[in-house]
Amino acid sequence: MNSRERIKKALNFEEADRVPYDLAATTWTGITNTAYQNYLKFKGKAAEEPIWSDVIQQIVVPSEKVLNELDADVRGVFPLTSHNWDVYARLKDRGNYFEYVDEWNFTHHFPKKGFWFSLVKSPMAEVDFSENGVVGKGTWPEAGNLKRFDGLREKAIQYNENGKAVFTKGLCAGLFEMHQRARGMENAMLDPFLFAENSDKLVGKLADLKIEFWDAALTEIGDVVDIVGEGDDYGTQQSQLIAPEQFREYYLPHFTRVLKFIKDKRPDLKIMFHSCGNVRPIIPDLIETGVDILNPIHITAAGMEPIQLKKDFGKDIVFWGGGVDTQHILPSGTPEQVKDHVKRNIDALAPGGGFVFSTVHNIQAEVPPQNIVAMLDTLNQFGIYQSKNKLEPNKSK
């Protein structure tokens, strides 16, 4: 069984030969350049020139040789967006930090002793949002620019020929998050109540840009990828950033438009939705809207306990992630704690299929390489399907 077949089994809620594994096929399941270089050094390998999938988050794509050694089943092809399109060429040195203004006119800073970029200025934060036509005055990218997809078709075909499943991402973050980036978080929280019409027009404009992007993307590479991704961040560690009712009223109708467009144009593709935190109250909405895959399973957030999620939703939505906690266990635990934690999550999420193993979120700079090795060794040992009811350790490992 090759990787693509293994992933398709998982997406069809079937058990394969082993639990499929993703590292760095998405910018939510990736590894920072620092953590990756430390891993290479620990394994006695030469350093590699970074291949950036997301410069803002400092996420890299490991070499094909390393991904094959790690038995990763998925490969990502990454369109050019504000997160990876000539970012370094557009930096301005501001002394203690670098400044980057992206195609949305968002301003980002990177401290010279920092680990990633942070958004520091929102272009519409000071705009009087009571004015007519204010949304039309924004700076909007050319979402369907075909340069975004240069070389991706050839890459995807090569990955297919090598038996790998292929993922591609969208234009930008989700509607709620992009609302915050455009207007600033405080404004975004108040806009739907104070300026309902213009707020809806802004969210609608963001959805239109996403549809413009997906129209081009699916025309260019839709027949050579298996999974496409959209993401947002609605959850916190305890609850949600906005009430589920507000999500359903202000954002879900436009999000549904985006997903419907993708499904209508390429009904064979699976759609992944990413949101950190506790999103349990809106999982039924996601399923109804057409989301096939939930990423991540934020296992340390309230309401996201793996066993109960699997019981309640495991036949309706695929779980991608949740293999190991990236807030505490992976960066700060011992290798033995990582092993115990990974085994427990595999036992909870893998039986019956519908699960792709990855970390809860990107592997950050401070994660010891020993813990990455412990994670992978445990997956190799305990991620082997032996029966319909439970997984057994692989005695040969």
Instruction: pLDDT band for 138, please (50, 70, 90 cuts).
Output: confident
> 296 and 322 in contact (C-beta within 8 Å)?
yes
Q: Where are the extended beta strands (E) located within the chain?
A: 31-32, 52-54, 59-60, 74-77, 92-93, 97-101, 107-111, 118-121, 165-169, 227-231, 270-274, 293-295, 318-320, 355-356, 384-385, 391-392
What is the structure's pLDDT at 392? 57
Environment class of 206 (CB within 10 Å of its CB; exposed 0-12, middle 13-18, buried 19+): buried
Supply 184's token pair. 């600033």
Instruction: pLDDT band for 387, please (50, 70, 90 cuts).
Output: low
Q: For 87, which DSSP code?
A: T
Instruction: pLDDT band for 14, please (50, 70, 90 cuts).
Output: very high
How many Cβ atoms sit within 10 Å of the Cβ of residue 369? 17
Supply 149's token pair. 């997809």
Is pLDDT at 390 greater than 80 in this prediction?
A: no
- Name the 3-class secondary structure at 167: strand
- Residue-wise pLDDT tens digits, 309-333: 999 999 999 999 999 999 999 999 9
What is the structure's pLDDT at 137? 85
Q: Where are the extended beta strands (E) located within 214-329?
A: 227-231, 270-274, 293-295, 318-320
Asked if the 3-83+130-392 domain carries CATH number 3.40.309.10, the reply is no
What is the structure's pLDDT at 277? 97
How many Cβ atoms sit within 10 Å of the Cβ of residue 46? 6
What is the C-alpha separation between 311 and 98, in angstroms, rounded?
47
Radius of gyration of the chain (CA): 21
What's the gap between Cα 298 and its chain centre? 12
| Structural domain boundaries in the chain | 3-83+130-392
What is the structure's pLDDT at 278? 98
What is the C-alpha separation between 236 and 239, in angstroms, rounded?
5
Cβ contacts of 237 within 8 Å, gap of 6 or more:
277, 278, 300, 301, 302
Cβ contacts of 364 within 8 Å, gap of 6 or more:
32, 35, 115, 326, 331
Percent of the chain with pLDDT over 70: 97
